[in-house]
Chain A
Amino acid sequence: MSKNPEFVKFDKVDKSYDGKVLVVKDLQLDIAEGEFITMLGPSGSGKTTCLMMLAGFETPTHGEILLDGNIISNIPPHKRGIGMVFQNYALFPHMTVYENLAFPLRVRKVEKDEIDKKVDKALSMVSLSGFETRMPAQLSGGQQQRVAVARALVFDPAVVLMDEPLGALDKNLRESMQYEIKHIHESIGVTVVYVTHDQSEALTMSNRIAVFNDGKVQQLSNPAELYEKPVNSFVAEFIGENNTFNGEVVDIDKDKCKVKLANSEILANPISVKSKGEKTTVSLRPERALINPTDKMDNMFTGKIEEVIYHGDHTRVRLNLLGSSEFILKVPNSTSNLELKVSQDIKIGWNSTDARALDPK
């Protein structure tokens, strides 16, 4: 069975609430069938608006949304057949777990036996069998969350939307739920559109991530690429930690450029800079800079330790380097751990390919 690569399609979608400000600008996004795609971005970036337009609770000001080739912009929410998991679960408090799950089947006039079977299956999928007669208020947050997921899946929708479903859970529960949702997605192959502002959640769960900012998709790629190869400063800043240097390009060739900082020069990988004289922000992941590197690296500098913070599995070191006292290093915790002390001078090196010269901040 061939998968449709444009199962959900946002075609030049604009959205404005007040007619003055566009919260979504010219959105072009294709979602493949069976894909787990995450819309990631800070609050107010337009990601939830996109989800609401897909669910049918908001209409695009301009452009079309297509589901499996059909324009759905004018179809009301209840006819779209899209499952949705809400931020606060939105379980019906006056119905039992069974009735909650049976609701979408009953409105579709499914036979009683069939309903029982499907509810049973959906509950066992989220490992909540035997909870049929409980009321939502009698369940813990994590259990309510799972009921909400089961309810969104029980009527076999083509697409399931999840709007920050794990936002209200504590850290440990959130992590285990992330894996659970990921496994459910893998086992039934439903298309999932997931909205979150938590980048680690996005990286853990998704096939692809669309990073939203200012009503636009900044980058759409798989988690590894997003982290390793951010295409602009916003993405580099938003996903993971990142050391930045602001400067000016003084020399450029195909895969290397020289960036002049306040009182030194570094080599970097030209991503969004094209010519000499351009302003740029160079981004470097903390774990890509090494202490006393044994290999030959084309950026080698000496810095002074300002602060050492023990994090268990790794140690964070803040350095004064190249005129900035905000340079962060992550040193993995191993037996051959270095004696790192404040105000000690150390040698730091990194490869110019890992230092990405992006648009200026």
Chain B
Amino acid sequence: MSSETKQILTTDGIPLEVSLKKAEKKNKIKAFLLVAPLLLFLIITYVFPIGEMFSRSIDDKMITNMLPKTFKEMEKWDGQELPPEEVFTAFYYDFKVLVEKQEHGKLGQRLNKEKNGFNSITKKLFRQVKRKKIDESISIKEQIMKVHKRWRTVEYWQAIKRTAPPYTMSKYLKGMDMYYAADGSITQVDEDRRIHRILWLRTLEIAFFVTLFCFLMGYPIAHLLATLPMKYSNLLMICVLLPFWTSLLVRTASWMILLQQQGVVNDFFVMIGLVGDDNRPEMMYNKVGTYVAMTQILLPFMVLPLYSVMKTISPSLMRAGKSLGGTPFVAFWKVYFPLTIPGIGAGCLLVFILAIGYYITPALVGGASGTLISNQIAFHMKQTLDWSFASAMGLMLLSGVLVIYWIYNKLVGVDNIKLG
């Protein structure tokens, strides 16, 4: 029997298969249109900014656009000795254009970041060009070399050549306390200047311990929430959620009031004689403050996933464990605990990822030893205005989170996460 004869037709003679597909297509379009606004929103507010951030972090086109002729000539230069006459000439004409557009200052600043000393010698060169002291009919190389001795030094020309590619990884290297040495190899900065690495490690350390503290404190609370009668558990739930309803800033400020040296906690310690009045411990503007405040603020993110998982665990399982001969501890460890792992995973992942990018709290109570990488990013955004470096560090943070997520997926499995 051929399929032709078996084909089912609808009343109007169209094969059923075709009209079904038609109907389903309509549904698919409807479904897509429903999610389209959100998709668009996500693209505009998430995908696009991250792309923008990435391109900014590797963008190095500024000099490439300022010195087009120079870089063209430099392609023929081996970079070992002083460049030939053509490079100097090209550089002179590029520079002249910049002087006319009054952009020579930017060039000096940018080159100065590459190698100290560029600022002053570009200014010197600018004055010569402005006063039209450079005679274009004789060797320009000789004249530029006379402006300052650094123009006679090969390292400076090498530095210019390094800025030729339109893209650079130098911001990322800087984030890891490394840089391109004169010969183009990747080198570590001096040991006493490696501040970013300390910040990265401190961020990881604080995120790890905050997660640990949240877990240790959140687990019993979540268990209590899941087992208490509704009447009490609702009240407790409100207590857990209360911090959510208070502004983050207010909560952090109240921690400042509590933890400062003349604060409530210290007063209490003095009162019960734990510490002397003249010997009040520093609990703020250091790691202690960051730990305490962040743990309190992130605790709900641990409690809620744990609670939602524990709520689904039937109390008869623990009873079964006990009636089968397990001590209460064995019943807990072998039966209850493994069943809460999805909640633990979700809670720890949430808290860790939130903690790793935390900003306001460490900025306010962290002091010098309690600031995190996000504070450094903010610093570069607002103080030094080095946005490309801030973008680079932001992306490093993002990829760090993705790596953690990937490791977590390998260890626990994302399917095992349960958020509610």
Which residues in A have some Cβ–Cβ distance to B below 8 Å? 55-57, 76-84, 86-88, 90-94, 103-104, 107-108, 151-152, 155, 161
Contacts and interface: CB of A to CB of B under 8 A. Distances in A.
B326 A107 contact: yes
Contact of B321 (A56, A87, A103, A152): A103
B319 A57 contact: yes
Contact of B323 (A83, A93, A94): A83
15 contacts: A57-B322, A77-B319, A78-B322, A78-B325, A78-B327, A83-B323, A84-B323, A86-B316, A90-B319, A92-B317, A92-B335, A103-B321, A103-B324, A107-B330, A151-B324
B319 A94 contact: no
Contacts, number: 68
B324 A93 contact: no
Given A88-B314, A92-B335, A107 B320 contact: no
Interface residues of B, number: 19
A81 B320 CA distance: 12
Q: Which of B319, B324, B335, B339 has the most CB of A within 10 A?
A: B324
B76 interface: no
B331 interface: yes
B334 interface: yes
A107 B327 CA distance: 8
A108 B322 CA distance: 12
A55 B316 contact: no
Nearest to A87: B316
A63 to B, nearest CB: 22
Contact of B324 (A56, A88, A155): A155
A84 B320 contact: yes
B328 interface: yes
B184 interface: no
A91 B317 CA distance: 7
Secondary structure type dominating chain B contacts: helix
B332 to A, nearest CB: 12
Contacts of A76: 322, 328
Given A57-B319, A77-B319, A107 B324 contact: yes
A220 to B, nearest CB: 25
Contact of B325 (A86, A93, A155): A155
A90 B321 CA distance: 9
Interface in B61-90: none
B13 interface: no
Nearest to A84: B323
B273 interface: no
Contact of A82 (B314, B323, B330, B339): B323
Interface string B212-250: 000000000000000000000000000000000000000
Nearest to B334: A103
B37 interface: no
A279 to B, nearest CB: 43
Contacts of B335: 92
A90 B339 contact: no
A103 B335 CA distance: 10
Contacts of A55: 319, 323
Given A78-B331, A103-B334, A90 B326 contact: no
